[in-house]
Amino acid sequence: MTRAAMQTASQSELQIVRSVADLRRQVGAMRGRGESVALVPTMGALHDGHLALIRHARRRCRHVVASLFVNPKQFDRPDDLAAYPRDEAGDREQLAANGCDLLFAPGVAQMYPAGFATSVNVAQVTEPLEGAHRPGHFAGVATVVAKLLLQCLPDVAAFGEKDYQQLITIQRMVRDLDIPVEIDGVPTVREADGLALSSRNRRLSADARARAAEIHAVLTDSADALADGRGSAATILAKGRARLGRAGFEPIDYLDLRAADDLTQLDRADRPARLLVAAWLDGVRLIDNVPVVPARR
Ligand code: PAF
């Protein structure tokens, strides 16, 4: 995209549509002019991590469509859904300021009309990690993302690496179902102390927030040790779990070394890998991950 085109996009007004028919009409007009479209699916409560997705989408395509839908099907606990932060007015301001052209903000009845009976299940990559701790979560994610991709039919859709298993799941689904959309992963945005941005961070008490960055420190130190082959993965991960425990994380759902492409469990970093963690701090569940790039030996 040229600088002039980006400027025009950033100055353009944010349009809002709430029905699939209106979304298709607007995206159809963009496509009719031969212009490319990127989609950024979100559940709102936007922070800098989402805005990095919007900026990435702007670099990739002429138009950026964001969706805002708090998807009830991907919450395994009703209290988590009820506590999910909502601020459509604030989200709209941030989207407009960052060059998003079109916001698709459907209601639940638009996405799941009475009689809705379909679920998209992606096997294998969804089974460990989050899948083992949040039953039904990835079927909810895959179902809503399949719908959003088919409703909008963008050229590109952008997802954060912060939810790495989600990214791999969506890439697998799009490949398996021949959905003609390129899926881009965008690096995690972090606070100065390393804590990954997340809408859940605002639930942390001041004291917990001060300790929360230890999760990233444990990830990076363990990833370095794994990449250098300093001991077995089992020993390095046990030390990492113990360190998280000392910082007050309890329980630790997992701290696991997995293959970067298909999330199979690894006992050493002898291929591109990912170190993933989920752990609770003062009642708030935090997840994060980093790449593990095997050192040349
Ligand atoms: O990552 C999220 O915010 C959600 O899981 C997504 C991809 C928007 C689907 O609801």
* CATH number, position 149: 3.40.50.620
pLDDT at 296: 72
d(CA 151, CA 237): 42
How confident is the model at residue 1, as a pLDDT?
47
Spatial distance between the Cα atoms of 164 and 151, rounded to a whole number of angstroms: 24
- How far apart CA 161 and CA 167 sit, in angstroms, is 7
Quick one: 130 and 270 in the same domain?
no
Q: Where are the beta strands (DSSP E) in 125-269?
A: 156-160, 182-186, 249-259
Cβ of 39 less than 6 Å from ligand 1: no
The predicted structure's pLDDT at residue 297: 62
Q: Are 38 and 64 in contact (CB under 8 A)?
A: yes
Question: Domain check: are 31 and 154 in the same one?
Answer: yes
Nearest CA to ligand 1 atom 9: 141
What span, in angstroms and rounded, lies between the C-alpha atoms of 145 and 151?
Answer: 10
Asked about 50 being catalytic, the answer comes back as: yes
Q: Which two tokens stand for residue 231?
A: 């001991």
Residue 4 in this model has a pLDDT that exceeds 70: no
pLDDT band at 236 (very low <50, low <70, confident <90, very high): very high
Higher pLDDT, 176 or 7: 176
Residues near 114 by beta carbon (within 8 Å), at least 6 away in sequence: none
In this structure, the residue with its CA closest to atom 5 of ligand 1 is 141
φ, ψ of residue 131 to 5 degrees: the values are -60, -35
Q: Residue 60's closest CA among 38, 30, 82?
A: 38
User: What is the average per-residue pLDDT within 118-146?
Assistant: 98
For ligand 1, atom 8, which residue shows the shortest CA distance? 42
Q: For a pocket test of ligand 1, which of 42, 104, 170 has the largest count of ligand atoms closer than 8 A to its C-beta?
A: 42
Q: Tell me, using a 6 A CB cutoff, whether residue 169 lines ligand 1.
A: no
Domain for residue 193, yes or no?
Answer: no
Q: In angstroms, how far is the first alpha carbon of the chain from the final one? A: 41
Q: Please tell me the distance between residue 237's alpha carbon and the centre of ligand 1 in angstroms.
A: 29
Answer yes or no: is 191 within a domain.
no
- Which secondary-structure segment (H or E) carries 94? helix 88-97
Is 49 annotated to bind ligand? yes
Please determine, for residue 218, whether its predicted confidence score (pLDDT) is greater than 50.
Answer: yes
Indicate the pLDDT class of residue 295, thresholds 50, 70 and 90.
confident
> CA of 166: how far to CAs of 213, 237, 274, in Å?
22, 23, 13
Give the Å distance between the CA of 126 and the centre of ligand 1: 15
Which one-letter amino acid corresponds to residue 240? G
Q: Is 44 in the pocket of ligand 1 (CB under 6 A)?
A: no
Say if residue 165 is in the same domain as residue 204.
Answer: no
Domain that holds residue 152: 3-186
The domain boundary residue, chosen from 139, 159, 186: 186
Distance CA 20, CA 289 (A): 34
**Does position 3 have pLDDT exceeding 80, yes or no?**
no
Which DSSP helix (H) or strand (E) runs through 41? Answer: strand 37-42
186, 221, 249 - which closes a domain: 186
Task: Report d(CA 258, CA 278) in Å as an integer.
Answer: 14
Name which of 77, 18, 111 is nearest 200 in CA terms: 77
Our answer on whether the CB atom of 71 is closer than 6 Å to any ligand 1 atom is: yes
Residue 47, marked binder: yes
In a domain, 108, yes or no: yes
Residue where one domain finishes, among candidates 157, 186, 215: 186
Q: Please indicate, yes or no, whether residues 211 and 242 belong to a single structural domain of this protein.
A: yes
Dihedral angle, C-alpha 124, 128, 129, 132, nearest 10 °: 120
Give yes or no for residue 94 CB within 6 A of ligand 1.
no
Q: Where are the beta strands (DSSP E) in 130-244?
A: 156-160, 182-186
Q: Which of 50, 56, 63, 137 is catalytic?
A: 50
Q: Model pTM?
A: 0.95
Sign, Cα dihedral of 256, 83, 157, 93 = negative
42 lines ligand 1 (CB under 6 A): yes
Q: Give the pLDDT confidence of 20-77 residue by residue, as tens digits.
A: 999 999 999 999 999 999 999 999 999 999 999 999 999 999 999 999 999 999 999 9
Atom of ligand 1 nearest to the CA of 141: 9
List, for residues 62-119, the tens digit of each pLDDT value: 999 999 999 999 999 999 999 999 999 999 999 999 999 999 999 999 999 999 999 9
pLDDT over 80 (residue 6): no
- Indicate the average pLDDT of the chain: 95
Same domain? 112 vs 164: yes
Give 54: exposed, middle or buried? Use CB within 10 Å, 0-12, 13-18, 19+.
Answer: buried
State the pLDDT confidence band at 5, using cuts at 50, 70 and 90: very low
Predicted pLDDT at 7: 41
Q: Could you identify the atom of ligand 1 that is nearest to the CA of residue 41?
A: 8
- Determine if ligand 1 sits within 6 Å of the CB of residue 198: no
| CATH code for the domain in which residue 237 is found | 3.30.1300.10
pLDDT mean over 143-169: 99
